[in-house]
Amino acid sequence: MVLKRLKQIFTKPEPGPHLHTAPDPTVDTVLHPDRPFCAIGDIHGRLDLLDPLLAKLRGEFGPDVPVVFIGDAIDRGPDSAGVLSRIHTLTGSAPDTHVALMGNHEQMMLDFIDDPAGKGARWLSFGGVETLASFGIEVEGKRLDAEDALDTADALETALGPGMLGWLRALPPVWTTGNVHCVHAAMDPELSPDTQSAKVLVNGHPAFLRRPRSDGQTVVHGHTVMAEPVVGDTRISIDTGAVFTGRLTAAYVATGTCRFIS
């Protein structure tokens, strides 16, 4: 009995994220982009979900509608290397119709490369181990000593190559069209869009999900896993926890309308 209980404890799967449910909206959400576009939520290494969703979007909306990748393309899932390669190729070959944003997981990976001994443990514990494995870099455990961390960071930098690494470092934190702003995590609802800090855009703000904006601007975001994609209270939330749920969501946004595609 004791051995059975110990086996249950040590083989218990890591729990998935809490699935947030949006409250009933209290204000109108106004959508006036300069042109229709699609935004894709947090991919987290699920190339197997990204490719069919891209095909569906292009089949329905055509090749000229911009597609915005909202950040957190990497970590946790099985093929972060493949996802990065796909997005890097698309944004390089068709930059007018493919935009990638910085997510907190991309930032953590860059922090690991720049300071592996100081910041490596954080990234490894948040899905970095899986990303390294997708590049053929194996590590034992989620904590490395300083020497191993440096060696691992060097191996990752080599695997990425200067082109992809430079592209990652240059990822913008926001993409704007009309009154609609795509960011990874949040905007401070009390500040105008052009005065937001990159830290808030990439990592979040405590008031973002509690208070709507009052300036007629709308924010499309990921980062917070929702039970269902939702539009309301000047926010469009599109992270449906693809790596945990198997559901990758995109939003098609045009003047006066928002539609979700999975």
DSSP string computed for 38-96: EEE---TT-HHHHHHHHHHHHHHH-TTS-EEE-S--SSSSS-HHHHHHHHHHHHHH-TT
Question: What band does 143 get if pLDDT is binned at 50, 70 and 90?
Answer: confident
* Mean pLDDT, the chain, integer: 92
81 has a pLDDT exceeding 50:
yes
One CATH from 3.90.850.10, 3.40.50.150, 3.60.21.10, 3.30.70.360 for 18-100+173-261? 3.60.21.10
Of 13-22, 27-36, 136-145, the least confident = 13-22
Q: Read off φ and ψ for residue 216, nearest 5 degrees.
A: 80, 10
Of 21-25, 153-157, 199-203, 212-216, the least confident = 21-25
Q: What is the pLDDT of residue 28?
A: 85
pLDDT one-digit tens code per residue, 1-31: 333 333 332 233 344 566 666 666 667 899 9
Q: What pTM value is reported for the model?
A: 0.91
Domain with CATH 3.60.21.10 in the chain: 18-100+173-261
Sign of CA dihedral 53, 54, 59, 62: positive
206 has a pLDDT exceeding 60:
yes
